[in-house]
Amino acid sequence: MTDEEQWWRDAVVYQVYLRSFADSDGDGVGDLRGVLQHLDHLADLGVDALWLNPFYVSGGADAGYDVVDHRAVDPAMGSLADVDELLEQAHARGLRVVGDVVPNHTSSRHPWFEQARRGGPGDPARSRYHTATGRDGAPPSDWQSLFGGPAWEPFGDGEWYLHLFDVAQPDLNWEHPDVVADFERTVRFWLDRGFDGLRFDAAGAMAKAPGYPPVPEGPRHPGDDHPFSDRPEVHRIFRRFAQILAERPGRYGVAETWGPAWLGEPYMRQDELHQAFAMDVIFTRLDAGELGAAVREYLDAAERQGRRPAWPHGNHDVTRAATRWGSEGVMAVLLLLLALPGATYLYAGDELGLPEVELADADLRDPTWRRSGGTERGRDGARVPLPWRYDASGHHGFSPAGTQARTWLPQPSGWSELSVEAQHADTGSALATVRAALKARTSLREAPWPVWLPGPPGVLAFRRGDVTCVLNTSGGPLPLDEWGRELLAASRELDEDGRLPSPGTAWLR
């Protein structure tokens, strides 16, 4: 493969959370044409690709991840013609487009599941899903849903179905030939339309242990046999997907993996996918030592497989980066990740430094809130629609002028101050920092693997070729002279003595 064909190895991928990016038709929900209207923002920012969260026909239970038809566009999101136009317009601007496929489950409104429900116990349609007989009125096993509550739901006729996520997301049985054949068709369908890559949702969940045995308690260790996470059988499935990707040069796959580097490593084997998310980075404190240890583990794992990591800085499932790492930390960590070998995944709105929003109970939509009996607030606080303009209308430019409909999650007042328009011309803004860093990053593209440098406590430093990256979390300002003469980029302004405040990251030559 040529370097150009492996464009994804060091790409900056911008995650467009469709429902919250931009609304073109005034219903308060973002859509595909909203993305079309703002492609220039992404080109101007300097990202290489955009990842679109699911836009398929959906039952509306999990913001698009409960899919009714994997090869059709939800009318609320737009049309297939809009997808084609988006691919064309993005490609014309040199932006690649990554899709998001959902192989682990369907919506409970999927025709297969409706057939299974109607069919009754023993009906062959049920075998496309994980269904089992209850134990004297109790579920077939004690498995818990990742969104809270039991992972089994009764059909009401003695049989139960498994849903690791919401009750409206029954898990598919990947031992069934129909499931394999239909999903391979889905993967081909989107690649043939022009997608440059695919994210495989819930990659680790697709194989279940026969008999649904109990989940062991406590932390996981290499070699453990977990009944539904990262089982060896899932790799057979990914080897097939990898063959389909390989038939089309320049396309790649990224596994949505959660957990430590050793769990994600097998997905990056040469005959599997090209990337697996280094998800633990998201949960690492803003501390040079802890961040250094976390990134080194993922770098080593990727290197062993001849790959490069996929660094998530944020996403739609976790607390906003600016709230996790603080308003200065958000950019410090971003510049650290951007300086490492691998692809960085930037979540829409984090280029504006948007904080997590505290929503009222009545506004929460995430199924986690309901399924946990109101104990887990869920992920909505990171999904509030983006502010684009100064706008008195109440939606801050998210919807067309004059729109009466409310945004699907309410935006805080004062959101205009953080809008793209407000930050565009402000050289000290988060947006300006990201734009400058992405420009400067070109000098790191083909740079060698990092050489770690000794530094004072609270400082993480490494060199790649002639560029040095320093992260300062020491609590005090760091003189930069010993690290380099020319400042290429910094996550914040240096102090009057030319020192890097804490927390902060600088790239020097």
Tell me 53's DSSP state.
P
Q: How far is the CB of 73 from ligand NOJ (least distance, A)?
A: 18
Residue window 115-154: x/- pattern of binding to ligand NOJ, with contact defined by CB under 6 A: ----------------------------------------
Q: How far apart are CA 151 and CA 169, in angstroms?
A: 10
Largest CA distance in the chain: 76
369 belongs to the binding site for ligand NOJ (CB under 6 A): no
Kindly tell me which of 201 and 272 has the beta carbon lying closer to ligand NOJ. 201
Annotated catalytic, 317?
A: no
Q: How far is the CB of 462 from ligand NOJ (least distance, A)?
A: 30
Q: How far is the CB of 76 from ligand NOJ (least distance, A)?
A: 17
421 catalytically annotated: no
The residue from 4, 247, 496, 497 that is catalytic is 247
DSSP string of 205-223, one letter each residue = GS---TT-PPPPPS---TT
Cα distance between residue 99 and residue 200, in whole Å: 9
Residue 317 is a binding residue for ligand NOJ (CB under 6 A) = yes
| Cβ(463)–Cβ(455) below 8 Å | no
Minimum gap (Å) between residue 273 Cβ and ligand NOJ: 16
- Where helices occur in 93-150 by DSSP H, the ranges are 111-119
User: Is residue 102 at the binding interface for ligand NOJ, with CB under 6 A as the rule?
Assistant: yes
CA distance 81 to 51: 18
Q: Which residue is nearest to ligand NOJ (CB)?
A: 65
- The correct pick among 10, 23, 31, 62 for binding ligand NOJ (CB under 6 A) is 62
Our finding on whether 272 is near ligand NOJ (CB under 6 A) is: no
**Strand ranges inside 338-425, DSSP E:** 343-347
Polymer length in residues for the chain: 509
Q: Which is nearer to ligand NOJ, 256 or 350 (CB)?
A: 256
Contact with ligand NOJ (CB under 6 A): which of 68, 77, 202, 422? 202
Query: Closest separation between CB of residue 315 and ligand NOJ, Å?
Result: 7
Q: Residue 51, interface with ligand NOJ (CB under 6 A)?
A: no
User: Whole-angstrom Cα distance, residue 371 to residue 349?
Assistant: 28
Subset of 446-505 contacting ligand NOJ (CB under 6 A):
none
CA 323, 327, 329, 332 dihedral sign is positive
Residue number, 310 or 331, with CB nearest to ligand NOJ? 310
Contact between 65 and ligand NOJ by CB under 6 A: the answer reads yes
Residues facing residue 469 across a β-bridge: 462, 507
Closer residue to ligand NOJ, CB minimum distance, 202 or 333: 202
Q: Is 48 in the site for ligand NOJ (CB under 6 A)?
A: no
Cβ contacts of 497 within 8 Å, gap of 6 or more: 477, 479
Q: Spell out the alpha helix ranges (H) of 172-248.
A: 177-193, 234-246
**Out of 100, 201, 328, 350, which one is annotated catalytic?**
201
Closer Cβ to ligand NOJ, 62 or 265, answer by number: 62
# residues contacting ligand NOJ (CB under 6 A): 9
38-40-45-51 Cα dihedral, nearest 10 degrees: 60
Contact call for residues 97 and 50 (beta carbons, < 8 A): yes
Minimal distance, residue 312 CB to ligand NOJ, in Å: 11
Residue of the chain from 14, 56, 165, 311 that contacts ligand NOJ (CB under 6 A)? 165
Q: Which is nearer to ligand NOJ, 322 or 382 (CB)?
A: 382
Q: Exposure pattern of 204-242 as b/e (b: 16+ CB <10 Å)?
A: bbbbbeeebeeeeeeeeeeeeeebbbbbeebbebbeebb
Task: Spell out, one character per residue from 281 to 310, where the chain touches ligand NOJ: x when CB under 6 A holds, - when not.
Answer: ------------------------------
Separation in Å, CA 216 to CA 212, 224, 226, 260: 12, 9, 7, 18
What pairs with residue 461 in β-bridges?
453, 470
Q: Which of 74, 201, 328, 351 binds ligand NOJ (CB under 6 A)?
A: 201
Residue numbers at the binding site for ligand NOJ (CB under 6 A) = 62, 65, 102, 165, 201-202, 256, 316-317
What positions carry a catalytic annotation?
201, 247
